[in-house]
Structure 1
């Protein structure tokens, strides 16, 4: 059945998705041109980054300014409809990435936000944004702090960087700070209009009716209800009359050039010389906002942000009106059958994620088919959610799973030799000169975040908690400072991104996380009165005791607390600690944990069995737009765990080669950052011919990455306080090491080392790709990763993809596949570095998966056992649905097994290793890659497959009893 013919309420589960990053350089039209290629690759659904109207020039689309308009830089409605038509022609669908948590502000593009700036609490959109209109700082009462200025406010005034402006066509006044627009409150227009100004007599006679109308209008603006008057009647009057008066002003200016000249002269007068800027300051003091130096955001900002990004303001999507207003277009596209699924960005930032999912599903039901109300999750939804390895996604959430970070982590761990942990820890410790403990690094990183960029949010929580404490005679002696410090300790020790308490019934899991955090916080605290932690524990678990505070008021605090722990964890872990702890950086990934050094095959099988049972349709990913390193990059770095002694000798040799004696006054790269640099080269060094041009391009990529990495680590430089001397030292180090003139012996030495471990790294990458495509869940391929993609963190991982080139390669592979497969497979292995082998594996597997979708969407997952000398180097499992079988067999930890000169296993390596098949499995099987026919042998009542036969033509296998094509 074609997607367009399916009932709208029927859940469409993708067979596979392909993530595409949209921007003005890659738009709907270009996506449409890729559809035939993606269809031939085997993809069922395009998975697009946000495509609603974002800030002009946005490279990612997450700074949406209008939820009900398509991004004009990406395309108009006609372009979108053309894309949908092209997808439907190929039997494909669309998964959309949506952003419910926040909107892009600043600039001059967000009408909702501009309305709030103009009208303050009386704005029709004041409740749309998460704003504290009554902060502790009284000068901010009923005002929004806008930390946008590049210097202190007074200095900006003096430098005349704030400019009052008049739009005569709309009758509106605004102050501009470069591209940022700040509307002026219409009630304060008289400060500008000055209808009694003496200079008016230079333009008008005393009895001129235009002057009289102007003076009357000036008076009318002044009588508007103040923005602080928030009764329904006052708001209605203000909202109605201000627009009428603006139109009258615009008409007067249009009909009377002399009036426009006067107003322009007033603008010039107010914007005049720095030492006399009192009028502009007085005008700004009367507004519903306070412009401030961006540095003050961490301490005093009073609107919720996306993490610590001032340009992204939190939406109150828990409010039904806000939900409806921000989802109108998306739900309409779902209703029309143009969107089959949604990815929910930053779900943990929402006030009540579970309620949000339920509302989203109920809206989909109400808009499509009331008879389907019994369905739990009629719309395919995945949430961007990081799940700790000891955390479980709640099975009653009406979604289909997460975006797959936890899968990437478990797969990555398969290709790390767990026995090397102590050796690599010793090497790292000796290289950097002291022991690094990740627990302590993470703890300190989270505290640093709360003391700097997210301090204002912590202050607000502490004040709320203090009010709760004041309501009980037993707790009122807890001071604000003590509560602040105890909260900081508790959040620093929080073991997960957040809890999900949304009612008076607290889940056991949430209670356990709170118990742990409070206990650890108490142990770390230096407070003289530790009973304060018992109070915090009771509040977080909604235990009122003798307090006069209601359970609902406690719940409000807890739900705000939950919105805080998530960004602290994200900023502390992903944007700080993962850049500071560099023992084996392939473990430093979103959703991963550097403390867990690899995992066994059994752990991987257990994960997949649980996934097949609980979340069979969750998204699976290895690389994404958010990963710190692409899967291919991690695969190469993982090889270091197989050769710890060689790595130890290499890094110390390279350090001696690259060490340059300098004066103590000169900065040099830190040992920790140098250690990161060498691993970065191992993971990303270009394959193929090395010439001056591609080495120069690569050097620039690595330099940009290293500068970002050292800023994120926040040790010797940072984004907020850049240390230019140190950053220059890092840049010079990178340039010296990657100098095409080989002025030092480092590069030749490194190239020899990298050449020796490259085959194992590429085999790792191919093995994990096959796991992605056949494990329980929906495999997602991030753009360009069907070929080798040795990317680093954004923006490096958002480089454009040459789809025409990939399309040509796929066509050539298809032509060769139809001829002599044995020759093709031999050639692919011999030319493995050109990436065609990865494209071949992906296309063959996805096409098979699409043909037998039920086998992979709903089939059982069966662990297969191996016996023999190489059993530990093998991962094998089966997918089964009724009498349909697919057996997946692949190698791991292959450094000792490969002939590095030919990219083949040594001939004898697998001969004494066999795979044991279930008794009910078919005896005769065929490999979809080689078309090699295999027959299991009965040995002492066991059905065995010799791996020497399985890997005879190709070192990866997908065996089946079904017709492969």
Structure 2
């Protein structure tokens, strides 16, 4: 297996395709990565900016280039010594529109479609009007209004002879050929003949679809060859489109039910990716689905086009472990495999999963945590409480948000689980009185109290000890939350979810239905956690937004050096090749935004004073001295953190109107998303324009160059925080590139990454700037690194110092692959008054040794405060610093000397 030394994530979309990646390849090779880590590039919905809405697993996305363009890109990667890791999506496909042939076939034929079982569709839901129908919730307004308003129209496809209802000219809803006679009519002899043939289709079972395709071809030929036929067809379609009642009658006969998007929360009958209507879950546990979905990527692994996979949203699958095993069996060629799995602080990745590790969200929060000063928690919390008046514990916020998601956006899925639980309960007289309503109520409490995204009971095995621990916790908390429910209901669900319900023979329950329900509930708890925690609670609890990161726990303020070392030691032992990420396409803030914000924990009192000053300045200008007018204090507090964390380095010295305008647009988009995701004052389905306008107006006032009292107060503070934040950024980069694991660089983050939540973190990257900067610094880094780095340090604002440190460490990794890939890890002893302000460790592999030292909490040493005699205890031997070329002997070495050049040091055994 080719294990990557380091990867570089590229985001493919229409503005950055295969040709662009071909051009970038030489730069990435010079930078020092071993593999390109590509976002999904199989065919997706037109205009996709992320590629996760795949519509055809067997084709490339034409918006990215041709097959020849792709081949040229792969050749360029190989010519530059670069392998490739592909981000793959097994959980769902893009639906809606007119681009997914599998979905369109299901819409056309309903349960009779060859692909009806490929999508996770409930054809027999409680909503009886949806029996044997698929809900299609893509309308922007009520069905009747859109129908009467002419937004739904029948159209004829002259190429293949098919008929479909189109919504807004964008969503194709095929008409079942069994009802073509309604459209074709009987006025024209040829159309009359074809109408009869279409009506006769039931006699062609099980070849109905094949016969229908033949008849469609005949219809296309007739309409194309005979003007009278086409005129009659057009007239019939026009008459139908002009009579909304007749069109409604035709629609009612279809195997789909087009509806207002807001109906989905209550009535959706297909599994989605979270609550996104146009991403439909597929049943990857079915062998036919697995073979089809991997029909292109497995050959790409076998022929060496790609060396590995990153599996998106592994928790969405019915049986993640079985899927991983199927992947491994699908090819004889070993390949690198990591999974997107978000772990709770107490949760470990399953050791029997045949993967190299996770995609690194655990590391994202680990490395940030060690840079946040825990001593500031009390002061930081007091500032938040005093400024906002909010004192609700974060755990209570998460619980409330999960309940809200289940009551609204994901109510239909909960209803189905309650129904299925009732069906299982009725299999045994001892539980037959547990009604759907009671079971659904209990399930909601259990899911709301779940401490992890999901458990992993399987068809072939019951819960393991970790699952039992988390289930016990959830059931106990759920009983406390709803003591009015009979405890026996929770006992029944506990036995069901743990597999104990059918553990003994003659239990009275059908084992398959019990385990299927348990596994379905596991698929539900993950999306509820994601939507409730990441996409709601994280936008409500603004105590310290640097901690509100995917996979993070905002209530955990900072991390001790001991906890950091323990996590790295465990990774070295169990997952030495796991991916280490600090920025991704999904992170809430860029890595350097978080690193800069971490400085606030060094200076909590100064931060508190600044926030009060800024609020007085901005609210006084608006005539709101008491601070009662919108936006509320919580959103205002968020704004100040966003500004401090993402303030562009080019605007630190001075501001200009154009720069403020461009930056203001980024802040505007971020605030809009924050308000709507938080779902307190606004939301996506029914935005509160008045409140949003008040928030946006407040932000515009802050960035108004003509009313600069705020900026005059803000700039000196952010200048200081940005300077100190750069030290944290270098520490973060060095740790990622030296601890056990395989580091990933998100596109552009080799220089400052001060991005905000998507789409801000997917802005174009200027590779010309990076290419030129790397080329200019290379001679100096070879011949006089200390002098070169000193110059880059003094001009830290341009980001070249981070680029220099990154490329030097990537090249060191290339020189010592075994040391970094399989080397051990030992904490380094640091002694002295400021010992908690630095961390260090030793990596060893056979004779190769490496020492890493980084400083932290730079705000505690600002203003000329030194290290007060603090020293690191180096092992015996001769050591050379990669950056300064300074030599050291074993024993205590003063950190004042070690960090004289940079706030980081990497010592190699000479």
Q: TM-score, normalised by structure 1?
A: 0.91
Equivalent position of 1:939 in the other structure:
none
Counterpart check, 1:685 vs 2:675? no
| Paired residues for 1:432-447 under 5 Å | 432-447=388-403
State the Cα distance separating 1:168 from its structure 2 match: 2.8
| Aligned partner of 1:834 among 792, 798, 804 | 798
- Supply the distance in 2 between the matched residues of 1:437 and 1:740 (Cα, whole angstroms): 38
Between the aligned partners of 2:896 and 2:439, the Cα distance in structure 1 is: 65
Distance (Å, rounded) in 1 between the aligned partners of 2:629 and 2:135:
38
- The answer as to whether partners of 1:759 and 1:898 remain within 8 angstroms in 2 is no
Distance 1:771 1:328, change over 3 A: same
Structure-to-structure mapping, 1:539-550, within 5 angstroms: 539-544=496-501, 548-550=508-510
Q: Report if the CA contact (8 A) 1:504-1:551 is conserved.
A: no
Contact 1:580 1:713 in 2 (8 A): yes
Q: Name the counterpart of 1:174.
A: 164
| Structure 2 residues not aligned, in runs of 5+ | none
Distance in 2 of aligned mates of 1:715 and 1:911: 48
1:101 aligns with 2:91: yes
Q: How many residues align?
A: 900
- The alignment status of 1:383 with 2:339, answered yes or no, reads yes
Q: CA deviation at 1:549?
A: 1.8
Equivalence for 1:896: 860
Does residue 229 of structure 2 align to residue 259 of structure 1?
Answer: yes
CA distance in 2, matches of 1:947, 1:723: 54
Deviations for 1:901-933, whole angstroms, at most 9, x for unmatched residues? xxxx76xx3472222234xx5x11111111122
Decide which of 752, 757, 767 is 1:788's aligned counterpart. Answer: 752
Report if the CA contact (8 A) 2:18-2:69 is conserved: yes
- The one of 553, 561, 573 equivalent to 2:521 is 561
- Counterpart secondary structure, 1:271: helix
2:264 aligned with 1:297: yes
Say whether residues 1:26 and 2:16 are aligned partners.
Answer: yes
Q: Partner of 2:291 in structure 1?
A: 324
Report the Cα offset of residue 896 of structure 1.
2.4
Query: C-alpha displacement at 1:816, in angstroms?
Result: 2.4
Deviations along 1:307-352, whole A, 9 cap, x unmatched?
A: 1110011011110000001111011111110000100011110111
Separation in structure 2 between the aligned mates of residue 667 and residue 99 of structure 1, nearest angstrom: 45
Which residue of 184, 198, 202 corresponds with 1:193?
184
Residue of structure 1 in register with 2:550 after alignment: 590
Name the counterpart of 1:353.
Answer: 320
- How far 1:662 moved relative to its partner? 5.8
Note the C-alpha offset of 1:504. 3.5
Counterpart of 2:73 (choices 46, 71, 83) is 83
Contact 2:874–2:889 under 8 Å retained in 1: no
- Specify which of 144, 152, 175 is matched with residue 184 of structure 1: 175
Picking from 941, 944, 952, the partner of 2:900 is 952
- Check the 8 A contact 1:471/1:547 in 2, yes or no: no
Aligned pair 1:574/2:527, yes or no? no
1:46 CA displacement: 0.4
Pick the aligned partner of 2:889 from 926, 931, 935: 935
Equivalent residue for 1:529? 486
Q: CA RMSD in A?
A: 1.6
Deviations, residues 421-465 of structure 1 (Å, cap 9, x unaligned) = 111111101111131310110000000000111111000000000
Pairing of 1:802-817 with structure 2 (within 5 A):
802-817=766-781
Aligned with 2:363 (options 397, 402, 407):
407
* Greater CA drift, 688-697 or 728-737: 688-697
Alignment of 1:83-482 (within 5 A): 83-178=73-168, 179-195=170-186, 197=187, 200=188, 211=189, 214-225=191-202, 234=205, 236-272=206-242, 276-365=243-332, 368=333, 378-482=334-438
How far residue 935 of structure 1 moved from its aligned partner, in angstroms, is 2.1
Gapped regions of structure 1 (runs ≥ 5): 1-10, 201-210, 227-232, 369-377, 900-904, 937-942
Alignment check: 8 A CA contact 1:51 1:61 kept: yes
> Partners in 1 of 2:584 and 2:548 — Cα distance?
14
SS in 2 for 1:781: strand
Q: Secondary structure of the equivalent of 2:118?
A: coil
User: Are 1:925 and 1:935, in contact at CA under 8 Å, matched by a contact in 2?
Assistant: yes
SS at match of 2:869: coil
User: Within 2, Cα distance between the matches of 1:358 and 1:826?
Assistant: 50
Distance 1:634 1:308 in 2: 28
Q: Which residue of 2 aligns with 1:671?
A: 633
Q: Find the aligned partners of 1:862 and 1:434 in 2 and give their Cα distance.
A: 42
8 Å contact from structure 1 (residues 221, 245) kept in 2: yes
Which of 726, 739, 748 is the aligned partner of 2:704?
Answer: 739
Hey, what's the Cα distance between the residues in 2 that align with 1:723 and 1:253?
50
Shift in Å, 1:170: 1.6
Q: 1:865 aligns with which of 801, 805, 829?
A: 829
Partners of 1:340 and 1:452 lie apart in 2 by 42
Distance 1:476 1:844 in 2: 67
| Residue of structure 2 aligned with 1:505, choices 456, 462, 468 | 462
Distance change >3 Å, CA 486–CA 256, structure 1 → 2: same
Distance 1:52 1:822, change over 3 A: same
Question: Displacement of 1:585 after TM fit?
Answer: 0.7
CA distance in 2, matches of 1:665, 1:615: 51
SS at match of 1:94: strand
The alpha carbon displacement at 1:223 in A equals 1.8
Q: Distance in 1 between matches of 2:649 and 2:223?
A: 66
> How far 1:111 sits from its partner (Å)?
0.6
Give me the whole-angstrom Cα distance separating, in 2, the residues matched to 1:271 and 1:774.
Answer: 66
Aligned counterpart, 1:760 = 724
The answer to whether the 8 A contact 2:111-2:132 is kept is yes
> Which residue of 2 is the match for residue 13 of structure 1?
3
Give 2:815's aligned residue: 851
How far apart, in 2, do the equivalents of 1:37 and 1:53 lie? Answer: 27
CA distance in 2, matches of 1:281, 1:636: 58
Residue 296 (structure 1) shift: 0.4
The residue number in structure 1 matching 2:661 is: 696
Deviation, 1:945, is 2.8
Deviations 1:652-694 (A, max 9, x none): 1211111133699996211000000111111011113422221
Aligned to 1:229: none
CA–CA separation in structure 1 for the residues paired with 2:489 and 2:721: 54
Answer yes or no: is the 8 Å Cα contact 2:479–2:485 preserved in 1.
Answer: no
TM-score for the superposition, normalised by structure 2: 0.97
Q: Equivalents in 2 of 1:774, 1:916: separation in Å? A: 19
1:885 aligns with 2:849: yes
Alignment of 1:762-777 (within 5 A): 762-777=726-741
Deviation at 1:823, TM superposition (A): 2.5
Structure exhibiting the larger radius of gyration computed from Cα positions: 1
CA distances 1:141-175 after superposition (whole Å, capped 9, x unpaired): 11101101111111111101101011233221111
